[in-house]
A and B are shown apart, each in its own frame.
Chain A
Amino acid sequence: SQQGEEDPQALSIQEGENATMNCSYKTSINNLQWYRQNSGRGLVHLILIRSNEREKHSGRLRVTLDTSKKSSSLLITASRAADTASYFCATNSGGGADGLTFGKGTHLIIQP
């Protein structure tokens, strides 16, 4: 069932600026993942953060997780035009056995 809520739904920024997207969820989780989807394409896995982690970095990506608030944020630094895409958070609560529950997504537009 759908439980994630991304905020904002859409975001438009200038190239070079930082983009921050937030995600909230409702149930206890095992891990939270962020994915990118270019228009009409499949999903690309960006980063996974486990429930016992608070922050994780991968290149220009920084993810935070606050399990007490049931929320996560994705920060993309020094944005590029190629970062234009939809970004989804997804939660997994069954140790990998269950399918993912996706948030509604944030559509990010990077203006050159």
Chain B
Amino acid sequence: GAVVSQHPSWVICKSGTSVKIECRSLDFQATTMFWYRQFPKQSLMLMATSNEGSKATYEQGVEKDKFLINHASLTLSTLTVTSAHPEDSSFYICSARVASGSPEQFFGPGTRLTVL
């Protein structure tokens, strides 16, 4: 149980295009999902907290207009990288909490974005 999937696994796009990444909780409902970014050989950095039915909460330094987050249902959150540039190339990982108040998060397999 507690499986989180991401789609796509990897994507290559041209500079200036927008890319949407999906994060799904497959066998549970997730009221809260989190988006992280990981640059090569570095750790994960929290980008934003996504709550179902409300606006996402972004970490300091993360542009909300560039990284659009939508959490329209209890099993799906999407991250759209708008007008992507080469510096946005990274590994994007989402996670979800099983239940309110539970500290454990289950992570998706990640999406590798390469912007040419």
Binding site for B on A (CB under 8 A): 1-2, 4, 30-31, 33, 35, 40-45, 48, 88, 90, 92, 95-105
Contacts and interface: CB of A to CB of B under 8 A. Distances in A.
A30 B101 CA distance: 11
Contact of B46 (A48, A101, A105): A101
Contacts of A100: 34, 44, 46, 95, 105
Nearest to B61: A1
Contact of B101 (A33, A88, A95): A95
B105 A98 contact: no
B54 interface: no
Contacts of A92: 103
A97 B32 contact: yes
* The 4 residue pairs across chains A and B that have the minimum distance between CB atoms: A99-B46, A42-B109, A43-B107, A96-B103
Contacts of A31: 103
Contact of B104 (A1, A45, A104): A45
Interface of B: 6, 32, 34, 36, 42-46, 49, 59-60, 91, 93, 95, 97, 100-110, 112
Main secondary structure of the interface of B (DSSP, over half): strand
B22 to A, nearest CB: 14
A91 to B, nearest CB: 10
A102 B45 contact: yes
8 contacts: A1-B60, A40-B91, A43-B93, A43-B107, A48-B103, A88-B44, A96-B101, A102-B43
A51 to B, nearest CB: 10
Given A40-B112, A88-B43, A100-B46, A33 B32 contact: no
Contacts of B108: 42
B104 A48 contact: yes
Given A42-B109, A105-B43, A96 B49 contact: no
A99 B103 contact: no
Contacts of A88: 43-44
